[in-house]
Amino acid sequence: MRFFKYITNFIAVFLNHQTIRNKNFIYYLFYYFSEGFLIFFHKFSFLLKFLQPAGRKYIGWPKLALLHPGIYCNRNCLYCYENSIEFNIEEQLSIDKYKIIIKNLKKLKVTQIQILGREPLLYDKLTKMLDILKKNNLDTVIYTNGLNADINMLKKLLPYKNKISFAWSLESEKVKNGKSNLKLSLANLLLFKKHNFDIKLFITATNVNYKFIPDLLKITYLKHNLIPVFTRYIPCGNKTIDSKFNLSSKQWYKILKVQKKIQKKEKIINIGKISAYIRGYGCSDYFDSIHISYNGKVSPCDYVMSKIIVGDLKTDNIFNIWEKYKKNIKKWNYLPDECKQCKENFYCHGGRKSHSYILFNTFYKIDPLCQNNKCPLSY
């Protein structure tokens, strides 16, 4: 069992890096390993009944901590999950408090910090937080829309270049002054790319921008060799907004087909599915990642931060809160009755739990994005 523990620990750390990109022997090695792994367990899924409990036991600690420190944003997306949160600057955690929190997250075996929530580049203590993360030797991903990533921001972030990466969201709506978000964000992205920052490009696919996706690919992939990861619009619970932005399954699978074609051409392997098979849960939220809001409230997922609170770091410490978190994992990851006969249930385990909770106020229903027993992948 000790040997198995070492192996699973290695896999847990390794799988934090969701993609491997290498056009040589290593690429083919991991390609055939990952494909073989998935084919084997897809055929003999009953073996996962033994693998997954062990995987949950030995990989079951928070590997990701997602910090939401800021309260300002330079966009006003109708479907943003943070629209339901009332922000109060007086409740914002101090940088000294974050220093303690980050130190304790390191002790809790967290291997990566992700900074998101509102627009992180507008957070006035960002560089101080990056200093703390750098001192604790924690890799950091910053989620940004890129609108504020100008030359001045570049100069501020250059000292942290080797310790941070970006998840860059590229959208196509217009801002108040009439300039296209797309052009401004893309120009800033190319500026940061020129200085060799590690950047992953994300585009949220909606019914509104679906017809423009070929044009987005021409601009990003064909012109600038930027390989986008498409994310599916997630229902926010507002019927008017959802009816406007919801993407049909047919539209989504067309997008996935295009993305898979690009990944194959560029020799990109997404091995996140292996991680899902080992842990038995399709989404790391509600299992091995924790979200910390600007006011210290801890939640299993950013989409339900205003609804499900596990603890408060202003009155408790992260170690006690994590123990409370673990007690809820089984309840959160209940397998809906509709999923029990599905051949994919060992992978997705009922889909992304927040989708069900937002629309039905329960974890016990199937992901509403699931269609005809096809995994409702958000990425």
> What was the pLDDT predicted at 19?
41
In eight-state DSSP terms, residue 305 is T
Q: Evaluate if residue 58 carries a pLDDT over 60.
A: no
Work out the burial of residue 22: count CB atoms within 10 Å of its CB; fewer than 13 is exposed, 13-18 middle, 19 or more buried. middle
Under 8 Å between Cβ of 169 and 202: yes
The answer on pLDDT for 5 being more than 70 is no
Q: pLDDT tens-digit profile of 351-364?
A: 778 888 888 888 88
What is the value of pTM for the model shown? 0.83
Q: How far apart are CA 345 and CA 351, in angstroms?
A: 9
pLDDT digits (tens, 9 = 90+) for 81-93: 777 677 787 889 9
Average pLDDT of span 116-127: 93
Best mean pLDDT range from 92-106, 248-262, 304-318, 319-333: 92-106
Q: Which of 237-241, 285-289, 369-373 has the lowest mean pLDDT?
A: 369-373
The confidence score (pLDDT) of residue 284 equals 67
Given a cut of 60, whether residue 107 has pLDDT beyond it is yes
Res. 46 pLDDT band, cuts 50 70 90: low
Instruction: Tell which residue, 287, 352, 344, has the closest CA to residue 55.
Output: 287
Q: What is the pLDDT of residue 4?
A: 47
Q: What is the mean pLDDT of residues 188-204?
A: 92
Q: What is the mean pLDDT of the chain?
A: 79
Q: Pick the more confident residue, 182 or 321.
A: 321
CA distances from 182 to 14, 72, 127 (A): 33, 20, 26
pLDDT tens across 13-29, in order?
Answer: 444 444 444 444 554 55
- Going by pLDDT thresholds of 50, 70 and 90, the confidence category of residue 379 is very low
